[in-house]
Amino acid sequence: MLDFFTIFSKGGIVLWCFQGAGVTESFTGPVNALIRSVILQERSGNNSFNHEALSLKYKLDNEFELIFVVGFQKILTLTYVDKFIDDVQLHFRDRYKNELEQKGALKLLNNSFEFQDDFMMLLREAEESSKARSPAHMRSFKESEKSQKTVKSMIETKGGDKGKEQGGKKNKNTKKEGEDLKVLAAIFLSFHCCDIFSFYHSKSPKPQKPKEKQMRVWDMGGSSTKNLDYSDSRNGEHSLNDMFWRKCVQLCLFLSSKKGGAFGGMFGMLKGLVGSKSLSQDDMEPVLEKMRDHLIAKNVAADIASQLCDSVAKKLEGKVMGTFTTVASTVKQALQDSLVQILQPKRRVDILRDVMEAQSQRRPFVITFCGVNGVGKSTNLAKISYWLIENGFTVLIAACDTFRAGAVEQLRTHQRRLNSLHPPEQHGGRPVVQLYEKGYGKDAAGIAMEAIAYARNQAFDVVLVDTAGRMQDNAPLMTALAKLIAVNMPDLVLFVGEALVGNEAVDQLVKFNQALADHSMSDKPRLIDGIVLTKFDTIDDKVGAAISMTYITGQPIVFVGTGQTYNDLRSLNARAVVSALMKA
């Protein structure tokens, strides 16, 4: 019932694959989609992925840098898949451990991984165990534990509370005792690292007849020194060396005799320091919990923060830590790398190059702006107009906000100011910015269509379509926006959002994309292509909205608004944003 199963390295080398009987279509398409949309985009928190009619389950092996992927029809409910993929991973690792430990792509290519018989055996066992499971029998009330309880058993007595309190105290004492053992272990390490012999010399009893201790004296008349005696003779059998090792043995026996494995914990700490510790979920959980709270405090949406931390846990689980690195530093570095990868677009949006390509086709390049009310769509449209004019292009602004009072007048003011900065006399007597408007109460999709036709006839390079602000829950206005985009098919759809929002950013983008998909007349609907993040200068280091918006859409942040003037438009520096996000 499986369509395919494949094992490949993170470098892209396929080590082994299986294709089900009767399956003719290649599995490269779904696997490549998984790599592009999940693995490369650092979205591996969830181990499932849907591609058309297929459902894919995957598992990362971070120790050997392997990926195990199984695919089956989405309509099937295969309960054994999760356990089956775990079994295949363990079996494959155990059998080819020596080959996998060899580094280098050529060595992996030269090895032969014959895994067909083992795979079929594991598959048969998984299918038989799934069939053997009988449906759970629903118990009657008399069979349940609740029926055995009486009123008396549910009342807590004073003595019981006291015993519970005592038990709690015992746990606290046990915890305190464990802390004491850690302190003793630290003292032992300090003794070992410092001049332990000097320490014991100061604490040991004085000998009965010590020799007079001399200092090293430099002979000023020459370059030689007098090598003087530094030894300390002792009567009896308690020398410094014997005393030191006796104390060490006593401390080790004391630690090893304590319940809780403090002695093993001490050496576990040393083992982690020298780089032989393999990370587990339990090791990372406390650090990830703090990282999750930190991201939420920096304005990352709560669901996105949880998914990011889960993705980092999947990425690091089973990985061997580097030498002298802690769990916290390892997790933090992995999270930083993931955040940078998320903010860097999977496709590059180069507006200037696309405008020149549209010029070669003798048509205008059309950009549509959408977003909720009051986020700065018209203001940032004017900033982008100024940026395009500075790069030598002519712009036509289509006033398609026929709902808000003053929207057309605001755009007319921007047009007048931009033309004053670039007088028509400097451009052959032709204004570099024009406004196309039909007043209020008209159909926005029709005005946009007329503006695009006018720009084509008048040889404008770019058309910027301003739309009315609308809340994501307003169904009629969302339908009108979807109609405008479906009818005119702009080259670029930019969502304008505030950098101040947190969880709201996720809701806005999800519902905007959903509305565009639901009301599209095409099999491949036009969704949001990029994001303009406004009011970025007002948030200090709470830059989490950038992560939330990019993560939920998978689209890049094209521009960032950083002020009130036409020059206050910047491209996003992913590493600077991540640095501000991770700052305590």
The domain spanning residue 560 has which CATH number? 3.40.50.300
**Residue 203 within any structural domain of the chain:** no
Q: Which long-range contacts (CB under 8 A, 24 or more apart) does 52-57 make?
A: 54/3, 54/30, 56/30, 56/31, 57/81, 57/82, 57/85
Residue 233 has pLDDT above 60, yes or no: no
Q: What is the pLDDT of residue 576?
A: 87
Mean pLDDT over 286-314 rounds to 90
The residues, any chain, with a CB within 8 Å of residue 38's CB and separated by 6 or more, are 44, 49, 58
> What domain range is 293 assigned to?
278-343
**Look-up: residue for tokens 């297929």?**
54
**Are 335 and 357 in the same domain?**
no
pLDDT band for position 79 (cuts 50, 70, 90) = confident
Q: What is the pLDDT of residue 290?
A: 92
**Are 331 and 388 in the same domain?**
no
pLDDT band for position 229 (cuts 50, 70, 90) = very low
**Are 300 and 367 in the same domain?**
no
Alpha-helical regions (H) of 133-239: 158-193, 196-203
Q: Which position has the higher pLDDT, 93 or 288?
A: 288
Mean pLDDT lowest among 83-92, 298-307, 342-351, 411-420: 342-351
Q: Do 349 and 365 meet the contact criterion of CB atoms below 8 Å apart?
A: no
* Cα distance between residue 435 and residue 399, in whole Å: 7
Residue 179 has pLDDT above 60, yes or no: no
Give the 3-state secondary structure of 402-446.
CCCCCHHHHHHHHHHHHHHHCCHHHHCCCCCEEEECCCCCCCHHH
Last residue of a domain, one of 71, 94, 128: 128
**Residue 227 within any structural domain of the chain:** no
Residue 425 has pLDDT above 90, yes or no: no
**Residue 323 within any structural domain of the chain:** yes
Q: Which position has the higher pLDDT, 124 or 144?
A: 124
Q: Do 486 and 472 meet the contact criterion of CB atoms below 8 Å apart?
A: no
The one-character DSSP state at 321 is: P
Strand partners, 399: 466
Q: What is the pLDDT of residue 166?
A: 43
**Are 490 and 467 in the same domain?**
yes
Q: What is the pLDDT of residue 417?
A: 94
**Residue 218 within any structural domain of the chain:** no
Q: What is the pLDDT of residue 552?
A: 85
Residue 330 has pLDDT above 80, yes or no: yes
Q: What is the pLDDT of residue 522?
A: 72
Residue 303 has pLDDT above 70, yes or no: yes
**Are 356 and 380 in the same domain?**
yes
Cα torsion 205, 206, 208, 209 to 10°: value is 150
Of 456, 399, 451, 392, give the one whose Cα is nearest residue 422. 392
Residue 460 has pLDDT above 90, yes or no: yes
| Range with top average pLDDT, 15-24, 231-240, 526-535 | 526-535
**Residue 139 within any structural domain of the chain:** no
Task: Write out the two tokens for 30.
Answer: 């779904």
The one-character DSSP state at 218 is: B
Task: Write out the two tokens for 564.
Answer: 């009130």
Q: What is the pLDDT of residue 324?
A: 67
Residue 440 has pLDDT above 70, yes or no: yes
Q: What is the pLDDT of residue 246?
A: 58
**Are 22 and 114 in the same domain?**
yes
**Pairing assessment for the beta strands 557-561 and 569-570 based on DSSP bridges:** antiparallel
Alpha-helical regions (H) of 344-406: 351-360, 377-390
Task: Write out the two tokens for 510.
Answer: 């999800």
Spatial strand order of the sheet with 48-51 comes to 14-19, 2-9, 66-73, 54-61, 48-51
Q: What is the pLDDT of residue 152?
A: 61
**Are 406 and 512 in the same domain?**
yes
* C-alpha dist (Å) from residue 17 to 8, 28, 565: 8, 11, 58
Last residue of a domain, one of 286, 320, 343: 343
**Are 384 and 294 in the same domain?**
no
Q: In the chain, how many domains are there?
A: 3
Residue 396 has pLDDT above 90, yes or no: yes
* Cα distance between residue 341 and residue 37, in whole Å: 12
| Range with top average pLDDT, 36-40, 137-141, 241-245, 511-515 | 511-515
Q: Which position has the higher pLDDT, 550 or 521?
A: 550
**Are 44 and 120 in the same domain?**
yes
Q: What is the pLDDT of residue 437?
A: 92
Q: Residue 511 is which amino acid? A: K
* Cα distance between residue 394 and residue 386, in whole Å: 10
Residue 271 has pLDDT above 70, yes or no: no
Q: What is the pLDDT of residue 540?
A: 80
**Are 471 and 491 in the same domain?**
yes
**Are 309 and 424 in the same domain?**
no
**Residue 8 within any structural domain of the chain:** yes
pLDDT band for position 164 (cuts 50, 70, 90) = very low
Mean pLDDT lowest among 248-257, 332-341, 345-354, 374-383: 248-257
Residue 556 has pLDDT above 80, yes or no: yes
Mean pLDDT lowest among 136-145, 321-330, 370-379, 551-560: 136-145
pLDDT band for position 525 (cuts 50, 70, 90) = confident
* Cα distance between residue 451 and residue 464, in whole Å: 10
Strand partners, 69: 6, 58
**Residue 61 within any structural domain of the chain:** yes
pLDDT tens, residue by residue, 461-520? 999 999 988 888 888 888 888 889 988 999 999 999 988 876 787 788 888 888 888 877
Which stretches does DSSP call E strand in 449-543? 462-467, 492-498, 530-534
**Are 512 and 477 in the same domain?**
yes
Strand partners, 473: none
**Residue 144 within any structural domain of the chain:** no
Strand partners, 463: 366, 396
Of 553, 572, 552, 547, give the one whose Cα is nearest residue 562. 572
Side-chain half-sphere exposure of 513, counting CA atoms within 13 A: 17
Mean pLDDT lowest among 278-292, 423-437, 493-507: 493-507
Last residue of a domain, one of 108, 128, 148: 128
Angle between helices 196-203 and 240-257 (to 10 degrees): 100
Mean pLDDT over 424-437 rounds to 88
Cα torsion 443, 448, 454, 459 to 10°: value is 170
pLDDT band for position 317 (cuts 50, 70, 90) = confident
* Cα distance between residue 256 and residue 174, in whole Å: 16
Neighbouring CB atoms inside 10 A of 355's CB total 20
Q: Which position has the higher pLDDT, 521 or 293?
A: 293
Q: Which position has the higher pLDDT, 246 or 424?
A: 424
